[in-house]
Amino acid sequence: EAEVAQSPRYKITEKSQAVAFWCDPISGHATLYWYRQILGQGPELLVQFQDESVVDDSQLPKDRFSAERLKGVDSTLKIQPAELGDSAMYLCASRSDRGYTGELFFGEGSRLTVL
Amino acid sequence: AQRVTQPEKLLSVFKGAPVELKCNYSYSGSPELFWYVQYSRQRLQLLLRHISRESIKGFTADLNKGETSFHLKKPFAQEEDSAMYYCALKGSGNTGKLIFGQGTTLQVKP
């Protein structure tokens, strides 16, 4: 069964360093989301792509976060420089545009620890 | 503002007891609501959607617009129901994004 792939699963970095996360959505899913989940909280949307275009990045801290999906398939989320408060799980999700009924398919997530 | 609130961080019940996970929402218009579940060491996944009015794994959820609630219920809890449960609201506009609550951990004791 097709699944959303994310890497790395775990990342430990020191503050002020750069980190990057990669996501490969389910084949054929044009819409891709990056969510951030701080421990004890629910997922919060950072950015949404439709193909290679950003649809919603209103909650993305653009001074340090960037996201791209150059060919409309896989996507990269970057943080530079990382801060202590960025420690969280970064979740990628994708969905089909055909007959969308609210089901997002999530990856396993990338857990970031900033020291 | 569009918001989802799950007032309980943890709900602990014994096997066979009824379960009710609370969810309240804030939304102007007709909401679309969902329950997602994350079992230990598994991905976050859709459990059920209010539009379908379905029962999944014995769970049901009814949308109550008057009380702006979408509580998840099961008459007899099983140990395998132990998981993290998130209530989610589909945001306005055509982005299809989901707004999640803080989540409730359900612990079913033997």
- Give every CB contact of residue B62 below 8 A, 6+ residues apart in sequence: B50, B70, B71, B73
Cβ-nearest to B100 among A3, A43, A55? A43
- Residue numbers in A near B95 (CB within 8 A): 48, 55-56
pLDDT digits (tens, 9 = 90+) for A87-98: 999 999 999 888
- Model confidence at B21, pLDDT cuts 50, 70, 90, reads very high
pLDDT digits (tens, 9 = 90+) for A21-56: 999 999 999 999 999 999 999 999 999 999 999 999
- Give every CB contact of residue B93 below 8 A, 6+ residues apart in sequence: none
Check whether B94 has a pLDDT greater than 80.
Answer: no
Within a 10 A sphere around the Cβ of A9, how many other Cβ atoms? 10
The pairing of beta strand A110-114 with beta strand A88-95:
antiparallel
Q: How far apart are CA B43 and CA A109, in angstroms?
A: 8
pLDDT number for residue A69: 95
Check whether B50 has a pLDDT greater than 90.
Answer: no
